[in-house]
Structure 1
Amino acid sequence: MITASTTDLSALIRQAPSVSPSMTCREALRVMFQHPESKCIIVCSPDNEPVGLIMCDRFFLKATGRMGMDRFYHEPVSQLMNRKPLVAELSTPAESLWAEAMLRPEPMRNDCIILTDKGTIIGTIHPADLLR
């Protein structure tokens, strides 16, 4: 059962670092290690608009996978980011946000949701936070 009301969403916001789509995966890994408390990294355009999302756990697994570190390190993050992250305004009702998150493909249902306030990124929220 969802207990957060629309006004409660601001209390659930988590800060997340952001990177540019042209940043290499090696550089993004550095950002990830500088922010160990964050579950994700927001990929932003030069206008600071969200264009993608990197979930840290998934990203780290790819970094240590069979692809090979050398090749991985030089890839731009735009090659590995989720190009269609869920972005919502802070004023979105928690129930609607939860429903929209659960409509995503199974592997992405637990991905962070990027929150904006009048189009400006203010942070992220994890779908599980909506259940508290």
Structure 2
Amino acid sequence: MSIALVNDLSNIVRSAPAIFASRTCREALRVMFQHPESKCIVVCNAMNEPLGLLMSERFFLKATGRSGVDMFYKEPAMKLMSKTPLVYDISTPLDVVFATAMNRPDPMKNDCVIITRKGKFAGVVYTSDLKRC
């Protein structure tokens, strides 16, 4: 993809699974396994507004690294989500999203960017897609 072809977020936004904030880690894992192609799960409220982000790989590592798996399964997924993900409206210029995404701390540089449309969850953008633009 070149910048001439990709000049706005709508050309690179991807679908991603979303769960309600009330879901448990067990339910989040189930969703993750139902969508193995997705790098993340977006946590939303009842009005479909994004509240946080679960990066699938990081979430899975936490799930399998726990000794008390039964307790982990019952914990709210919100407890493990990133509470400060990047969230942008689909109308935001691509260069603004790219610059902000690249300025994140190293452990978060590859986290998905949540895209909204009028405040409602619309999809995600992968950092790797932003780099190709």
TM-score (norm 2): 0.90
Q: Deviations over 1:23-79 (max 9, x none)?
A: 110011001111111110000011111000000000000010034311211110011
Partner of 1:10: 10
Partner of 2:114: 114
Partner of 1:71: 71
Is 1:81 the counterpart of 2:84 in the alignment?
Answer: no
Segments of structure 1 that go 5 or more residues without pairing to the other structure are none
What secondary structure is seen at the aligned counterpart in 1 of 2:116? strand
Deviation at 1:103, TM superposition (A): 2.2
Distance 1:27 1:91 in 2: 32
Partner of 1:59: 59
Is 1:23 the counterpart of 2:14 in the alignment?
Answer: no
Deviation at 1:130, TM superposition (A): 1.1
Alpha-carbon contact 2:47-2:120 (below 8 Å) kept:
no
| Identity in percent | 57
What secondary structure is seen at the aligned counterpart in 2 of 1:61? helix
Deviation at 1:11, TM superposition (A): 2.1
- Listed as ranges, the matches of 1:85-96 within 5 Å are 85-96=85-96
What secondary structure is seen at the aligned counterpart in 2 of 1:63? helix
Counterpart amino acid of 2:45?
S
TM-score (norm 1): 0.91
What secondary structure is seen at the aligned counterpart in 1 of 2:130? helix
Counterpart amino acid of 2:130?
L
What secondary structure is seen at the aligned counterpart in 2 of 1:58? helix
- Listed as ranges, the matches of 1:31-46 within 5 Å are 31-46=31-46
Q: Which aligned runs of 4 or more in structure 1 are off by greater than 6 angstroms?
A: none
